[in-house]
């Protein structure tokens, strides 16, 4: 079993004792950020289309303020038949993760990104939410997915599933995240670890590690 070391928080709902109303306001702000991000990405004219899922074999990260939006969506929809496939994908991801990092009794977030992404792409281990080449949580997908686009050709992503996002999209993401972390305590999560308890995989992890983000990433 891999132990993910706790640095700041055990779960997304603990935000340094922040007032609940303030938390709710920030979460609503993120919904607005999502809408604005979608609009900005469309102005860049991406070639990405439904079913083009080559980038969905990367290790997905999200910010702690995005977690409540995703968790709320999952609680309302996880009993739909299609989410049985999500559970299967999550089980496959944990088998892959444990096999890849079998020699690690503890794993930091930095180490996870050193060990896992290249192997995940090489072995074609999908994001848990990728079903039939489509994202089943597309309306609430995190910023790391919303701002990952190509303006050249999907062929590049097919050849290299670890292909980075368009430079203008990356610059926009840096601006958005930098604005967030300047105003509220913000941490980074790995998506599979966040959703594990909702699908019965809480025993697969002891803690998920979180990193406090600072401005000028």
pLDDT, tens digit, 9 for 90 and up, residues 116-157 = 888 888 899 999 999 999 999 999 999 999 999 988 877 777
Distance from C-alpha of 179 to C-alpha of 80, rounded to nearest angstrom: 36
Distance from C-alpha of 38 to C-alpha of 80, rounded to nearest angstrom: 26
3-class DSSP assignment, residue 186: coil
> Taking the model in full, what pTM does it have?
0.83
Tokens of 93: 């991801």
Annotated domain spans of the chain: 3-212
CA neighbours within 13 Å on the CB side: how many for 37? 26
Residue from 120, 127, 135, 146 nearest 82 by CA: 135
Return the residue matching tokens 């083009």.
52
At residue 80, φ and ψ (nearest 5 deg) are -65, 145
CA 20 to chain centre: 24
At residue 61, φ and ψ (nearest 5 deg) are -120, 160
Q: pLDDT for 87-126, tens place per residue?
A: 999 999 988 888 887 666 566 677 777 778 888 888 999 9
Beta bridge partners of 131: 134
H helices of 52-122, in order, are 67-77, 83-100, 109-115, 117-122
């Amino acid at each position: 079993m891999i132990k993910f070391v706790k640095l700041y928080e055990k779960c997304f709902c603990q935000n340094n004792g922040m007032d609940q109303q303030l938390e709710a306001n920030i979460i609503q702000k993120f919904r607005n950020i999502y809408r604005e991000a979608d609009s900005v990405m469309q102005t860049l004219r991406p070639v990405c289309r439904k079913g083009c899922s080559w980038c969905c074999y990367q290790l997905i990260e999200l910010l702690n303020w995005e977690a409540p939006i995703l968790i709320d969506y999952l609680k309302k929809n996880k009993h739909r038949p299609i989410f049985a496939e999500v559970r299967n994908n999550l089980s496959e991801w944990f088998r892959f993760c444990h096999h890849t990092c079998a020699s690690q009794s503890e794993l930091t977030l930095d180490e996870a990104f050193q060990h896992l992404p290249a192997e995940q792409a090489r072995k074609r281990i999908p994001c848990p939410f990728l079903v039939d080449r489509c994202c089943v949580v597309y309306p609430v997908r995190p910023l790391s997915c919303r701002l990952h686009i190509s303006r050249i050709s999907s062929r590049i992503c097919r050849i290299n599933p670890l292909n980075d996002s368009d430079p203008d999209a990356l610059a926009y993401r840096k601006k958005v995240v930098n604005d967030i972390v300047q105003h509220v305590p913000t941490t980074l999560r790995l998506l599979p670890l966040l959703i594990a308890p909702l699908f019965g995989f809480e025993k697969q992890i002891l803690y998920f590690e979180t990193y406090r983000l600072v401005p000028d990433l």
